[in-house]
């Protein structure tokens, strides 16, 4: 008997599970293999045990960066990116990224530990007390709380479905500290888990909606397709390319849709953007909203007489959200469904659609040729000090030679110039500031892009933009990720030349001059490069790509280069007055 007893005890132990384990089991059961987070009470053991169970747990220096990483992992993989944080302050740090995910239609789940419900609800001052669920709700697509271990399976399943189905978004999952330690019969625990079946069901468009759209295209004389990041997310690359090429319609990729077809494609109208938008008569939006990034579909950008006037275009909008149509201007042909199904249905109904009239294609071609030639002239210059153009000519060449590399981009001028100068050749390679034009996504995106795609990552960062997540270079070094960060350093926000007319403190947009950002990377064992010429920048990038070592290139550019707010000066009240 004496020899049997320990065995019985071990069996009894194995027959019991707990909240920690069930969270891990529920995630694993649903194919989630990576957590982006930052440990602390009450989730420290969750991070340890998840790692011990074979999940990849990537720890960051600030939850906001973990959150951005999770959000973009969701965009790249069509699986919700998981961000795990502690309660109140950690939760709030992660919340920015959750709101970002919702805004950008990226599937993400922010899982935060929280304090004791009884104490929080009576506001008795618990450790990190906060009603997190209530705070997250307006910023998330959905928000759930699990109070009992046997409900973890349902909670995780609901979070996954909410994040992925329909228009993707950010979901909050609140896990109070007490939940983790709750024990449960292991068999009952297993039975309580749910493997979500078909979390993003196909949504087939109505045949008459497809016909309506095709009829509009058939009647068009100056048609245009606008591809947005929803089209990139949908991973319907072959169908989209087939539709573009079979119709022969010129297309305009939004920032993160660049590369869906190569930017060098003859139908790409990016270099003639300001010509095609006002001139087009029928515009088909595919996974792109008519928000500020498209001037709300009206005004001068679209050929309207005044700021708010309609330009006369007819719009087709292919989108999974039935509420998106008419948000800014009339949508004549909404096609509601997932992009893969919608484009397939349009292809099936296309018949012998004639190519767009030659005069439309020729006019675009001529505009493009003139603009590309003008840009080539600017890019060929080699001014001293280096400016955005001479630096980006190098980046453009390096990306052309490495089309599989992931490309991260943030800043104002550093964003706008890069977007128009650096071509993308493959889908979902370019990830950037998104719908909000937010600064701070940089290093979090770099970590997730490297981890998820296993490709080399190149990041082009304004010096201000970089500062929002700069401490994560330690994370890049810790996980030895193949990331090459290029800082276009002009000594400040937008540029480095503002002066405080009263003397004393420097102007609010100005930073320490000639700051040696590369030393930050060196501090953690990565490679730092100080580059003052295009040749030094090129060598630094090529070495980085060859070695795959975490590298930071501090590319010093002319501090007078750049305009206030980059290309959106018109949104800046003070600059407008000037």
- In this structure, what token pair is assigned to residue 314? 């007819």
Q: Would you say 226 and 288 are in contact if contact means Cβ atoms under 8 Å apart?
A: yes
| Residue 488 near which of ligand ADP, ligand TPW, none (CB within 5-8 Å, type-dependent) | ligand TPW
**Tokens 């001037």 appear where?**
295
Q: Is 564 in the site for ligand TPW (CB under 6 A)?
A: no
Q: At what angle do helices 19-29 and 152-164 cross, to 10 degrees?
A: 40
One of 91, 180, 233, 407 touching ligand ADP (CB under 6 A): 233
How far is residue 303's CA from residue 280's CA, in Å, rounded to a whole number?
9
By CB under 6 A, how many residues form the interface with ligand TPW? 19
User: Cα torsion for 406, 412, 417, 422, to the nearest 10°?
Assistant: 0
DSSP, residue by residue, 131-168: -HHHHHGGGSSEEEE--SGGGHHHHHHHHHHHHHSSS-
Order of strands, sheet of 34-37, starting from the edge strand that comes earlier in the sequence: 56-59, 34-37, 81-85, 108-114, 170-176, 142-145
By CB under 6 A, how many residues form the interface with ligand ADP? 24
Beta-carbon count within 10 A of 382 CB: 13
How far is residue 183's CA from residue 569's CA, in Å, rounded to a whole number?
58
b/e string for 545-571 if b means 16 or more Cβ within 10 A? Answer: beeebbbbbbbbbbbebbebbbeeeee
Closer residue to ligand ADP in complex, CB, 113/228: 228
The least distance separating ligand ADP from the CB of residue 203, rounded to whole angstroms, comes to 8
Q: Is 463 in the site for ligand TPW (CB under 6 A)?
A: yes
One of 344, 465, 481, 537 touching ligand TPW (CB under 6 A): 465
DSSP, residue by residue, 451-510: HHH-S-EEEEEEHHHHHTTGGGHHHHHHTT--EEEEEEE-SBSS-S----TT-SSPPTTB
Q: Is 423 in the site for ligand ADP (CB under 6 A)?
A: no
Closer residue to ligand ADP in complex, CB, 55/294: 294
| Residue 234 near which of ligand ADP, ligand TPW, none (CB within 5-8 Å, type-dependent) | ligand ADP
Site string for ligand ADP, 303-322 (x = CB under 6 A): ----------------xxx-
How far is residue 509's CA from residue 498's CA, in Å, rounded to a whole number?
7
Binding segment (CB under 6 A) for ligand ADP, from list 140-148, 225-233, 460-468, 546-554? 225-233
One of 72, 493, 527, 556 touching ligand TPW (CB under 6 A): 493
Q: Is 167 in the site for ligand ADP (CB under 6 A)?
A: yes
Handedness of CA 15, 16, 19, 20 (dihedral sign): negative
Residue nearest to ligand ADP (CB): 230
Site string for ligand ADP, 172-211 (x = CB under 6 A): ----------------------------------------
How far is residue 137's CA from residue 72's CA, in Å, rounded to a whole number?
21
Q: Is 230 in the site for ligand ADP (CB under 6 A)?
A: yes
Q: Is 438 in the site for ligand TPW (CB under 6 A)?
A: yes
| Residue 248 near which of ligand ADP, ligand TPW, none (CB within 5-8 Å, type-dependent) | none
Residue nearest to ligand TPW (CB): 462
Closer residue to ligand ADP in complex, CB, 167/396: 167
**Tokens 């030393």 appear where?**
519
Q: Is 297 in the site for ligand TPW (CB under 6 A)?
A: no
One of 115, 267, 464, 469 touching ligand TPW (CB under 6 A): 464
- In this structure, what token pair is assigned to residue 148? 């009992």
Order of strands, sheet of 457-462, starting from the edge strand that comes earlier in the sequence: 430-432, 406-410, 457-462, 483-489, 551-556, 527-531
How far is residue 247's CA from residue 351's CA, in Å, rounded to a whole number?
10
Burial category of 574 from C-beta neighbours within 10 Å (exposed 0-12, middle 13-18, buried 19 and up):
exposed
Q: Is 435 in the site for ligand ADP (CB under 6 A)?
A: yes
Binding segment (CB under 6 A) for ligand ADP, from list 223-231, 244-252, 411-419, 547-555? 223-231
Site string for ligand TPW, 250-289 (x = CB under 6 A): ----------------------------------------
Site string for ligand ADP, 79-108 (x = CB under 6 A): -------------------------xx---
One of 84, 110, 194, 257 touching ligand ADP (CB under 6 A): 257
Q: Is 324 in the site for ligand TPW (CB under 6 A)?
A: no
In the complex, the residues that contact ligand ADP under the rule CB under 6 A are 104-105, 167-168, 228-230, 233-234, 254, 256-257, 287-289, 291, 293, 319-321, 324, 338-339, 435
């Amino acid at each position: 008997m004496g020899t049997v007893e320990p065995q019985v005890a071990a069996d009894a132990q194995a027959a019991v599970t707990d909240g920690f384990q069930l969270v891990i089991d529920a995630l694993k059961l649903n194919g989630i293999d990576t957590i982006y987070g930052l440990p602390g009470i009450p989730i420290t053991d969750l991070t340890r045990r998840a790692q011990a169970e074979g999940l990849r747990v990537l720890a960051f220096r600030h939850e906001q960066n973990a959150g951005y990483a999770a959000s973009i992992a969701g965009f790249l993989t069509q699986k919700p990116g998981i961000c795990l944080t502690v309660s109140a302050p950690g939760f709030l740090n992660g919340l920015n990224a959750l709101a970002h995910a919702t805004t950008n239609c990226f599937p993400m789940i922010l899982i935060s530990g929280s304090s004791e419900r009884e104490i929080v609800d009576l506001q008795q001052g618990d450790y990190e007390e906060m009603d997190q669920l209530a705070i997250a709700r307006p910023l998330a697509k959905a928000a759930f709380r699990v109070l009992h271990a046997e409900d973890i399976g349902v909670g995780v399943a609901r979070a996954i479905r909410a994040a992925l189905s329909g228009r993707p978004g950010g979901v909050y999952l609140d896990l109070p500290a007490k939940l983790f330690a709750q024990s449960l019969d292991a068999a009952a625990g297993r039975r309580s888990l749910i493997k979500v079946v078909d979390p993003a069901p196909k949504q087939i468009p109505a045949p008459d909606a497809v016909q309506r759209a095709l009829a509009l295209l058939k009647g068009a004389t100056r048609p245009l397709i606008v591809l947005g990041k929803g089209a990139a997310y949908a991973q319907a690359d072959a169908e989209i390319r087939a539709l573009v090429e079979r119709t022969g319609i010129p297309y305009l990729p939004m920032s993160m849709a660049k590369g869906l077809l190569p930017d060098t494609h003859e139908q790409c109208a990016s270099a003639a953007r300001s010509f095609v938008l006002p001139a087009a008569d029928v515009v088909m939006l595919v996974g792109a909203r008519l928000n500020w990034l498209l001037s709300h579909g009206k005004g001068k950008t679209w050929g309207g007489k005044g700021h708010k006037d309609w330009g006369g275009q007819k719009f087709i909008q292919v989108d999974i959200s039935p509420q998106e149509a008419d948000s800014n201007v009339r949508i004549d042909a909404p096609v509601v469904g997932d992009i893969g199904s919608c484009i397939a249905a349009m292809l099936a109904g296309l018949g012998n659609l004639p190519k767009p009239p030659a005069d439309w294609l020729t006019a675009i071609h001529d505009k493009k040729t003139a603009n590309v030639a003008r840009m080539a002239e600017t890019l060929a210059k080699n001014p001293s000090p280096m400016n955005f153009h001479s630096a980006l000519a190098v980046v453009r060449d390096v990306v052309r030679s490495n089309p599989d590399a992931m490309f991260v981009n943030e800043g104002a001028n550093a964003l706008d110039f890069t977007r128009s100068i650096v071509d993308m050749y493959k889908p979902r390679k370019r990830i950037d500031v998104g719908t909000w034009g937010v600064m701070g996504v940089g290093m979090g995106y770099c970590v997730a892009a490297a981890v998820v795609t296993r490709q080399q990552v190149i990041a082009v960062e304004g010096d201000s933009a970089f500062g929002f997540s700069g401490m994560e270079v330690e994370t890049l070094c810790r996980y030895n990720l193949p990331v090459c960060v290029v800082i276009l350093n002009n000594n400040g926000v937008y540029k480095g030349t503002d002066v405080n007319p009263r003397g004393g403190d420097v102007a609010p947009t100005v930073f320490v001059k000639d700051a040696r950002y590369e030393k930050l990377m060196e501090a953690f064992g990565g490679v730092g490069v100080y580059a003052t010429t295009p040749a030094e920048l090129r060598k630094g990038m090529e070495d980085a790509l060859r070695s795959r070592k975490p590298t930071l290139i501090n590319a010093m550019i002319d501090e007078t280069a750049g305009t206030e707010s980059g290309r959106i000066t018109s949104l800046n009240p003070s600059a407008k007055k000037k």
